[in-house]
Structure 1
Amino acid sequence: MPIDLTVVLVRWLQFAAAVVVLGLPLFQMYAPGPVPARSARWVAIAAGLLLAAGAAGGLVAQTAMMAGGWAAAVDPASIGYVIQSTGLGMAHIARAALALAGVAILMIGQNRRGAGLIAVLAFAGATASFAWSGHGAASEGALGLIHLTADIVHALAAAVWLGALAGFCLMTARSSQVPEGNTVRSLASFAGVGTTAVVTLAITGLVNAAFLVGADGVTRVVGSTWGLLLLGKLALFVTMLGLAAHNRFTLTPALSKASHTSGTAGALQRLRLSIGAEMAAGLALLGLVAAMGVQMPPVSM
């Protein structure tokens, strides 16, 4: 497999694991009940292990890309250089260590809330480390700090949104065991959190675009691979917004109304399909973001 494609796939794997490992435990905290704590914990543990493995694999693939071949990727001296001399290498090590720490805390702490909070902090650190693995760490000076901060907040907000969708997917998959009233309450609990996450994503996305496109790069967006990926990302983001609005303002009220009668099966099935479509769009969006990370943005062209 080509090195650059491997890097993209491993980045995609890490993104997907990170949004679950951080967003799902958070979802359990502000919308408890519908997803059993034990099930959510084991899903988070699996995602955390996947994130750690992806970080290790990503380090190897990035080393191969930087050195120009797979032979260097298995050379301890080459990997050691990337770890010690680049922010990207240190970010991969920190990500793997924090993911494993979070997993260990979840396993040792069982379902205790205090352990869950500490694990979430570890997973948040692992998710934030993506900012040092992409274009967010390329800017320098005071403006560079703004760019880096925006990239970190962007990653965390994405995890909150997509991690909640993972929780809803688990919840609706076992709908026969969950009272419809609990489902409706969880959707209502996420409404404010989801709106905040979306607004945060929009603001930090604009900040990142300002740094990566620049005033002179606007005309080069359509003519660059990075720009086309950005347009695809925006299209998927708008699609997710439409599905989220449909869920909140149409399907959730319909389910609430149906819960007072005996006809909840149809309403729940429509909600399940819509949430699944929103999650699929989110995963596809993460794939485009993974590909954008190995392309040159307009401001650098």
Structure 2
Amino acid sequence: MPIELTVVGLRWLQFAAAVLALGLPLFQAFGLNEPGPQSARRAVIIAGVVLSVSAMGGLLAQTAMMAGGWVEGLDPAALSYVIQSTSLGMAHVVRAGLPLLGVAALVLARGRRAGGWVTILAFAGAFASFAWSGHGAASEGSLGQLHLAADIAHALAAAVWLGALAGFCLLLLRPATRGTAGTARSLAGFASIGTVAVAVLVMTGLINAAFLIGAEGFGRVPRSAWGLLLIAKLVLFAVMVGLAAHNRFTLTPALSRAVEAQTDTDRVVRRLRISIGLEMLAGIALLGLVAAMGVQMPPASI
């Protein structure tokens, strides 16, 4: 497999694992009904381990791409240089280490709130490292700090949204919770949080676009690989927003009415599962596009 495709695949895997590892604990910390404590806990532990292992693999692949081949990239001297002399290398080390701390805190805490917050902070730091090693870290000066902060906020908002989708999938798949009043309250309660997450994604996305496209780069967007990936990303984002609006304004009220009237909820739960499942799939595909964008030159750099 070409090195660049390996880098993209490992970045995609890291994004997906980080979303689960951070998003599910955040979902539970927001005071929503827990999506099956044991299933969520196992998912977070597995995602944390996958994130750590894929980050180490990503470091090897990135070094190989920079060195021009797998043999050269696996040279200890080359790896040492990348780790010690580049922000990309250090970001991968942080991304490999912090998830293990998060997993350890989750395992040892045994449900205690303090351990849960250590887990969240560890995974949040790992998630923020994506910005540290991406285009957001390329800008310099005070404006560069704004770009980096916007990139970090963008990533964290994505974790909140996609992590909640994963949590709702667990809720709706469990027979004991999928048609209950608690599930209906959780869906309704996430509406304001989801709106804030989308607003942050839009605002920080515009800031990132201003840096990565530039005043003179709009004409190059449809003519560059990065630009075409951005267009596809925006299409998927619009699909997700449309599905989220349908869930919030149509399906969630329908579930609440069915629960209050004590009528059958199977039909509306089935529709919610399909809608949220499609939204989650669109989000996973979007993460793949973001992973591919990370190895392409944005218009402002061409």
Q: What 5-or-longer segments of structure 1 have no aligned partner? A: none
1:237 aligns with 2:216: no
Distance 1:178 1:249 in 2: 18
Q: Which residue is equivalent to 1:294?
A: 295
CA drift at 1:177: 4.3
1:179, CA displacement in angstroms?
Answer: 4.5
Aligned ranges 1:38-77 → 2 under 5 Å: 38-77=38-77
Residue identity matched to 2:274? L
**What residue in structure 2 maps to residue 10 of structure 1?**
10
- Provide structure 2 residue ranges, at least 5 long, that are not aligned to the other structure: none
Deviation (angstroms), 1:38: 2.4
Q: TM-score, normalised by structure 2?
A: 0.98
Distance 1:266-1:178 versus aligned 2 partners, 3 A rule: closer
User: CA separation in 2, counterparts of 1:104 and 1:243?
Assistant: 36
Shift of 1:111: 1.2
Query: Partner of 1:24 in structure 2?
Result: 24
Count the aligned residue pairs: 301
| Matched AA of 1:283 | I
Letter in 1 for 2:289: L
CA contact (8 A) 2:92 2:129 kept: yes
- For 1:171-227, what per-residue CA distance to the aligned partner results, in whole angstroms no more than 9, with x for missing partners? 111134445211111112211111111000000000000000001100000000000
Task: Name 1:263's counterpart in structure 2.
Answer: 264
Deviation for aligned residue 1:32: 3.5
Contact 1:34 1:178 in 2 (8 A): no
Confirm or deny that 1:284 pairs with 2:285.
Answer: yes
Contact in 2 for aligned 1:26/1:160 (Cα 8 Å) = yes
Q: Deviations over 1:114-150 (max 9, x none)?
A: 1001110011000000012211111111111111110
Length-normalised TM-score, structure 1: 0.98
Q: Using the alignment, how far apart are the partners of 1:178 and 1:170 within structure 2? A: 9
Mean Cα deviation higher: 102-111 or 256-265: 256-265
Runs (4+) off by over 3 Å: 175-179
* Separation (CA, whole Å) in 1 of partners of 2:87 and 2:52: 17
Aligned to 2:185: 185
Tell me the secondary structure at the aligned position of residue 216 of structure 2: helix
- Distance in 2 between the 1:191 and 1:7 partners? 35
> What residue identity is the alignment partner of 2:26?
L
Q: How does 1:114-125 map to 2 (within 5 A)?
A: 114-125=114-125
Map of 1:213 onto structure 2: 213
Aligned-residue identity in percent = 64
Determine the C-alpha separation between the residues in 1 that align with 2:224 and 2:101: 40
Alignment RMSD (CA, Å): 1.0
